[in-house]
């Protein structure tokens, strides 16, 4: 009984010593944070963007599901962090079948790389958030998707797709980078 008490006290004291740092608000390089540091979404900046959002245009339906992951352990730095991930379905027959089908009932794998959209912080919350976007049909990365609430709305957001800005070199003989997207690059999504 005494041993169990000691262990519990030790665990509590270890936990109490863990530093909690607010996301996107760094006094020092987050890569140099002490082991056990928790980069936490203290002010719930991700909350406005969570949930299922849909765009419909005739038979074209794009559905996004944005979810928050909390206290995720980062092996490289031995720290913890909150972030959001997203997935999408894309249908061209009114939702009967999906040509992209990445949304699952629950998030099976919380790691950032298991989803096709990701953001480590929402510094412009509650107005907008930008996430990485992997185009499943074109099998291409380096896309970014920004969701920005329409003025005065909490249920509709403007979605905009773009490529990361900068230079893209490739060896002669290898395919050039594809700057296109397989879904529209500007549309409005509505919360479901």
Partner 1 sequence: MKQNIKNYLKFGILLIGISLLLYQCQKVDDNQVINSDQKSDLNITIFHNSEHFAKSNPKIYNKLQLASHSNVLSRETEYSDDHDFYFNLDDIQIIEKTGYTQYTVVVERDTESNDVLNYILLIHNNGDEDQYLVTYPRIETEGELIIDYYTATMVSLNGNSILSRGPTNCADGTPEFIGFDQEYICTANACGSQNHMPGDDSCKCGVTLPCTPAWTSCEWTSVAQWSCTGSGGGSGAGSGSGGGGGGSNDDDDDDEPLETVVLINEPKTPCEKMNKLKADTGFRDEMVDLKTAADNENVEKGRTLYNKTGIAPLNDKYLYEPSTGTPNDPEINYSYYASTQGYVHTHYEGLISIFSVQDLLDMYNTMKNNSVTDDFFYGVITEAGSAYILQIEDRAAFIAFGDANLSNDNKIFKFTSKLESYYDITNNGSVEDNEDGIVKMLQRKNAGLAMFKPTDNTFTDYVKLEYDSGDTIETNCNEN
SS3 37: coil
Q: Does 76 bind partner 1 (CB under 8 A)?
A: yes
CA distance 162 to 29: 28
The site that binds partner 1 (CB under 8 A) totals a number of residues, namely 36
Query: Using CB under 8 A, which of 4, 35, 108, 171 touches partner 1?
Result: 171
Q: Does 134 bind partner 1 (CB under 8 A)?
A: yes
Applying the rule CB under 8 A, the residues between 96 and 125 that interact with partner 1 are 112-113, 118-121, 123
**In this chain, which stretch among 60-68, 148-156, 161-169, 183-191 interacts with partner 1, using CB under 8 A?**
161-169
**In this chain, which stretch among 10-18, 44-52, 98-106, 140-148 interacts with partner 1, using CB under 8 A?**
140-148
CA distance 146 to 128: 7
CA distance 81 to 112: 11
DSSP H or E run through 13: helix 2-17
Binding pattern for the stretch 3-32 against partner 1, x by CB under 8 A and - elsewhere: ---------------------xxx-xxxxx
List beta partners, residue 143: 133, 163
Distance set, CA 48 to CA 109, 148, 186, 191 (Å): 22, 11, 20, 10
Q: Which is nearer to partner 1, 146 or 156 (CB)?
A: 146
Q: Does 165 bind partner 1 (CB under 8 A)?
A: yes
Give the other-Cβ count within 10 Å of 82's Cβ.
Answer: 20
Q: Does 170 bind partner 1 (CB under 8 A)?
A: yes
CA distance 89 to 121: 23
Q: By CB under 8 A, name the binding residues for partner 1.
A: 24-26, 28-32, 76, 112-113, 118-121, 123, 131-132, 134, 141-142, 144, 163-172, 174, 176-177, 179
């Amino acid at each position: 009984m005494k041993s169990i008490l000691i262990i519990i006290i030790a665990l509590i004291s270890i936990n109490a010593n863990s530093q909690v740092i607010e996301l996107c608000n760094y006094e020092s390089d987050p890569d140099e944070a002490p082991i056990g540091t928790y980069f936490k979404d203290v002010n719930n900046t991700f909350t406005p963007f969570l949930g299922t959002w849909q765009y419909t245009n005739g038979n074209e339906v794009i559905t996004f599901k944005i979810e928050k992951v909390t206290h995720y352990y980062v092996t490289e730095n031995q720290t913890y962090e909150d972030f959001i991930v997203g997935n999408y379905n894309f249908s061209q027959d009114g939702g009967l079948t999906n040509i992209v089908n990445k949304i699952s009932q629950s998030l099976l794998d919380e790691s950032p790389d298991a989803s096709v959209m990701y953001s480590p912080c929402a510094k412009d919350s509650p107005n907008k958030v930008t996430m990485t976007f992997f185009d499943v049909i074109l099998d291409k990365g380096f896309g970014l998707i920004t969701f920005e609430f329409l003025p005065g709305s909490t249920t509709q957001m403007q979605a905009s797709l773009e490529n990361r800005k900068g230079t893209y070199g490739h060896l002669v003989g290898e395919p050039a980078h594809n700057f296109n997207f397989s879904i529209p690059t500007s549309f409005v999504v509505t919360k479901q």
